[in-house]
Amino acid sequence: MDILFGAVASGILLGMVLALVALGLTIIFGLMDIVNFAHGEFLMVGMYTGLLTAQATGMDPLFTLPLAGAIGFLLGVACYGGFVKYLLRGPMIAQLLGTFGLMLLLRNLALLFFGSEDRALHHGLLVGKSFDVGMGIILSATKLAVAALSVLAFCGVWLLMNRTKTGKALTATALNRQGARYMGIPTERMNALAWGIGGSTVTVAGALLVNFWSVNPYVGLIFTMIAFTVVALGGFGSVPGAFFAGLVVGFIMEIPGFWDFFAITFDIGWMADVPMTSFKYTWIYVAYFVIMLISPRGLFGWKQ
């Protein structure tokens, strides 16, 4: 049973972490309908920001989060104003190829400046600490912190979208850009704002992730894939949907843990021999494929 509880707890924590990673994309892609393949690279920028500021100043990476957020906001706004704005004038394919190019640019800039070495933080208030709460559940302090921030960030974005005028303007822009402009909504500014918020949430996530994951210039790809799965699963346009989708993806990544539970509890020999951990990312792609097949609008989506 310990194995089962451990896997469930770890799935929930990981799910909240992944939801936070995907929040930025939920805003940019899910809400505003602009594809961003460079999402994982934004995360990478956040990770390097957290790592380098912590190393340069000797401060705990927790205290440099606002800086990471600010850099992410500026990066998002700059990318939109200097680049994506022009892509929107073209067909959909322009967004696909354009943000794909942005991804390559950011990745190669990182290679140029930081090299291809893996880098990681080894010291910090939370690094290496974990709590054993019994029943096989071990919670690491770093992941708990990210999970807490994840809940806060999701609440914040939900409030922004549903309780403020700006949120209404953002939704209007996403639904019908031309119509919104006729109503006097500064749509350009709304899009830039969405990119800014999206960028800052993902860089803050990155700055926290670097507490327990190492960073290299290639780290973005897997997170881009995960984020797209979360957004697709949660449904386009739904903030709470993205959060629950994050949890589902967390559980999907925990499949090896559940597999072990069955193999060991029921002593099934052939199950124990299957190298499930080698396929832990495979299930995400399988899930993405299945969702696209049976419910292209996702679980909670409202947009066509």
Partner 1 sequence: MKISSKCARLLVGIFLLTALVLPSAVTAEEIKIGVLFPLTGGAASAGRELRSGAELALDIANNAMPDINMTMAKNAGIKSMGGAKITLIFKDHEGNPTLGADLAKKLILDDKVHGLMGAYHSAVTKAVSVVAEQYGVPLINDSSTSPELTKQGYKWFWRTTPHDVYFTKDLFEFLKGLTEGKVKGVPAVPKKEIMNLASACEKTEWGAAVSELIEKFGKEYGFEVKKSILYAAKATDLSSEVRSLIAVKPDAMLFASYTSDAILMMKTLKDQKAAPKLLWGQNAGFEVPEFVTTLGDTTVGSLTRTVFIPKIAQVKPVAAKVNAMYKAKTGNDLSGASARSFTGLQAWVHVLEKAGSLKPADIQKAANAIEIPGDELVVPWQGIKFATTGDDIGQNTLGMGLIGQYQKGADGKIDLEIVYPFNVATANMIYPFPKF
**Site for partner 1, rule CB under 8 A:** 3, 6-7, 10, 14, 115-118, 120, 122, 128, 130, 132, 138, 140, 212-216, 218-219, 222, 253-254, 256-257, 260-261, 264, 272, 275-278, 280
Q: Give the CA count within 13 Å in the CB-facing half-sphere of 129.
A: 9
List the beta bridge partners of residue 140. 130
User: Quick one: 67 or 141, whose CB is closer to partner 1?
Assistant: 141
- Least Å distance between CB 266 and partner 1? 13
User: Quick one: 277 or 295, whose CB is closer to partner 1?
Assistant: 277
Work out the end-to-end distance of the chain between its first and last CA atoms, rounded to an integer number of angstroms: 43
Reduced to 3 states (helix: H, G, I; strand: E, B; else coil), residue 140 is strand
The DSSP result for 49-72, as a single string, is: HHHHHHHHH---GGGGHHHHHHHH
List the beta bridge partners of residue 119. 215
- Least Å distance between CB 119 and partner 1? 8
Listed in sequence order, the residues at least 6 apart from 99 whose beta carbon sits closer than 8 Å to its beta carbon are: 35, 36, 37, 38, 84, 87
Placement of tokens 């100043």 in the chain: 57
- Least Å distance between CB 291 and partner 1? 22
- Least Å distance between CB 163 and partner 1? 35
Nearest to 286 by CA among 252, 261, 262: 252
- Least Å distance between CB 208 and partner 1? 14
Listed in sequence order, the residues at least 6 apart from 235 whose beta carbon sits closer than 8 Å to its beta carbon are: 30, 241, 242, 245, 297, 298, 299, 300, 301, 302, 303
User: Quick one: 99 or 216, whose CB is closer to partner 1?
Assistant: 216
User: Quick one: 78 or 141, whose CB is closer to partner 1?
Assistant: 141
- Least Å distance between CB 146 and partner 1? 12
User: Quick one: 104 or 138, whose CB is closer to partner 1?
Assistant: 138
User: Quick one: 64 or 140, whose CB is closer to partner 1?
Assistant: 140
